[in-house]
């Protein structure tokens, strides 16, 4: 499974990239606002830090305007994935931009039918928002499983990018189901290493080592 960092904060990306834990980055208008920086400037810097796809989102609602914005964003770097919403106009833009040879991430997916349409439109990635489904008492993991089955049934090459992942369980469950990518805030990615038994075991080892009176260095 590929890990994408869902952030526009440069420091967070650098820290994860140094460990080889970032295969790509996803941004959106809310994350750009949080960064307090110009979208072109910060996106260009992110693209220089990671070699994998960096999703940059259009903000228009009409297909022609989305296409123009997408082409402008794609000029930033060769690893830009243009992010468009899962609307009819978004699907039109997806079809045109993928025909141009660009990567496209179709976002705000909340149903298997929507994911099917995104694949038919040639999307590189489809982003089902599992956390937001959980918020309204629907099962985000069930959606990932449904999309996986449909894509496998027909050989669609669109990658399932599990988005709005808020817990470590979201990540492990997405991996078990077969999502191609998961994007999560750096704080969630860092929690993957945590386990109380690891901490307890390390504490015991160090306690016993101290009793030996030995040193390695």
Whether 31 and 7 have beta carbons less than 8 Å apart is answered as yes
Q: Annotated catalytic residue: which of 34, 62, 83, 211?
A: 83
Concerning whether 92 is annotated as a catalytic residue, the answer is no
- CA–CA separation, 168 vs 176, rounded Å? 13
Query: Which residues are CB-neighbours of 181 under 8 A, at least 6 positions away?
Result: 1, 2, 3, 4, 23, 24, 125, 159, 160, 161, 162
What's the rounded Cα separation, in Å, for the pair 8 and 191?
A: 19
103-109 vs 54-57, strand pairing mode: unpaired
Give CA–CA dist 19/3, Å, rounded: 12
Residues marked as catalytic: 83
């Amino acid at each position: 499974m590929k890990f994408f960092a869902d952030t526009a904060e440069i420091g967070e990306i650098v820290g994860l990239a140094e460990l080889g834990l970032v295969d790509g980055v996803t941004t959106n208008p809310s994350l750009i606002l949080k960064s307090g920086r110009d979208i072109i400037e910060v996106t260009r810097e992110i693209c220089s830090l990671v070699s994998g796809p960096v999703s940059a989102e259009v903000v228009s609602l009409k297909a022609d305007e989305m296409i123009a914005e997408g082409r402008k964003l794609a000029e930033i770097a060769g690893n830009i994935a243009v992010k468009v919403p899962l609307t009819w106009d978004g699907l039109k833009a997806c079809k045109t931009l993928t025909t141009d040879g660009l990567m496209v991430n179709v976002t705000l997916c909340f149903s298997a039918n929507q994911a099917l349409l995104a694949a038919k439109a040639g999307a590189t990635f489809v982003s089902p928002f599992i956390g937001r489904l959980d918020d309204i008492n629907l099962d985000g993991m069930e959606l990932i499983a449904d999309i996986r089955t449909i894509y496998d049934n027909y050989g669609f090459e669109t990658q399932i990018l599990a988005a709005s992942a808020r817990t470590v369980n979201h990540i492990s469950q997405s991996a078990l189901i077969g999502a191609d990518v998961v994007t999560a805030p750096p704080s969630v990615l860092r929690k993957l290493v945590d386990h109380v038994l690891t901490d307890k075991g390390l504490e015991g080892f160090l306690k016993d080592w101290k009793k030996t009176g030995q040193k390695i260095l």
